[in-house]
């Protein structure tokens, strides 16, 4: 029986690789906590190393630089918020499109209030001197993808109201940009719907950020209620009605 141990998990490449993966995870976890507590600007390789009782130079065996560690945390944060949003949407019946939309919006706001620094890491002003590498785009897209798919599914179910007659037509260059997005990711929706969807997506994060950063202090005290009402208005602006179309 013992002889088999050498063969356990051969893809992992032995205990060295396993230890390496574990320490990498520990570093990430500690760094994540530091960001959560003090913000991304205050993230220090040395502080993380100190807490893990290793020398600061040892961290360089795992991350080539502070920026690389930051990138990993950014991807992490995008995935965390994406996961919350996906799970929130999944908890609502697929036929209840309005309810799914509400769940998505509230999940974003909940994440932001519970993890303000991680939210800021990805939706706040960029860390000076830091350039986001392309590996972040996939995780970053999770929330808008959920929103887009929701629109597609509501559309196919005939649960999406037409835009009002007074709505301005979408300019051709915008339509052409969005047709590319449609073709690659949302085959079932029209580019004109996407234009309105982007506006709602932006509005959602705009509202969450504005509230989080204190710009509504003195204007709206009951943020919960205002947000809930806003979500209804946002839904309406893309054609989703509470209780569905009749």
- The binding site for its own copies (CB under 8 A) comprises 38-39, 41-42, 120, 123-128, 132, 137, 140, 144, 164, 166-168, 170-171, 173-174, 177-178, 181, 195-196, 198-199, 202-203, 205-207, 209-210, 213-216, 218-222, 225-226, 228-230, 232-233, 236-237, 241-242
Q: Find the shortest distance in angstroms from Cβ 63 to its own copies.
A: 21
* Residue placing its CB nearer to DNA in the complex, 58 or 202: 58
* Residue placing its CB nearer to DNA in the complex, 24 or 203: 24
Among 60, 86, 220, 228, binds DNA (CB under 7 A): 60
* Chosen from its own copies, DNA, none, partner binding at 220 (C-beta under 5 to 8 Å by type): its own copies
Q: How far apart are CA 185 and CA 202, in angstroms?
A: 18
Among 25, 33, 41, 56, binds DNA (CB under 7 A): 56
Q: Find the shortest distance in angstroms from Cβ 76 to DNA.
A: 17
* Chosen from DNA, its own copies, none, partner binding at 44 (C-beta under 5 to 8 Å by type): DNA
Does 44 bind DNA (CB under 7 A)? Our answer is: yes
Contacts 24+ apart (CB under 8 A), 59-65: 59/27, 62/20, 62/23, 62/24, 62/27, 63/27
* Residue placing its CB nearer to its own copies in the complex, 94 or 126: 126
Does 36 bind DNA (CB under 7 A)? Our answer is: no
Does 19 bind DNA (CB under 7 A)? Our answer is: yes
The 10 Å Cβ neighbour count of residue 189 is: 23
* Chosen from its own copies, DNA, none, partner binding at 237 (C-beta under 5 to 8 Å by type): its own copies
Among 8, 9, 12, 15, binds DNA (CB under 7 A): 15
Q: Which residues bind DNA (CB under 7 A)?
A: 13-16, 19-20, 23, 43-47, 53-58, 60-62, 65-67
């Amino acid at each position: 029986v013992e002889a088999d141990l050498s063969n356990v998990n051969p893809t992992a490449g032995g205990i060295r690789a396993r230890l390496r993966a574990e320490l990498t995870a520990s570093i990430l976890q500690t760094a994540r906590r530091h960001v959560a507590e003090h913000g991304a600007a205050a993230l220090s390789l040395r502080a993380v190393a100190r807490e893990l009782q290793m020398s600061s130079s040892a961290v360089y065996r795992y991350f080539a630089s502070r920026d690389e560690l930051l990138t990993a945390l950014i991807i992490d944060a995008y995935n965390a918020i994406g996961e919350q949003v996906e799970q929130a949407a999944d908890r609502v019946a697929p036929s209840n499109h309005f309810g799914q939309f509400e769940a998505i919006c509230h999940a974003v706001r909940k994440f932001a209030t519970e993890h303000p620094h991680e939210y800021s890491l990805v939706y706040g002003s960029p860390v000076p001197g830091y350039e986001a590498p392309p590996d972040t785009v996939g995780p970053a897209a999770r929330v808008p993808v959920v929103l887009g798919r929701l629109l597609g599914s509501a559309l196919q179910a005939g649960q999406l109201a037409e835009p009002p007659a007074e709505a301005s037509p979408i300019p051709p260059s915008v339509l052409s940009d969005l047709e590319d997005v449609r073709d690659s990711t949302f085959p079932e929706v029209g580019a004109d719907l996407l234009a309105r969807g982007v506006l709602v997506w932006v509005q959602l994060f705009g509202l969450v950020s504005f509230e989080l950063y204190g710009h509504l202090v003195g204007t709206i005290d009951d943020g919960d209620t205002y947000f809930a009402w806003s979500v209804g208005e946002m839904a309406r602006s893309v054609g989703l009605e509470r209780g569905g179309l009749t």
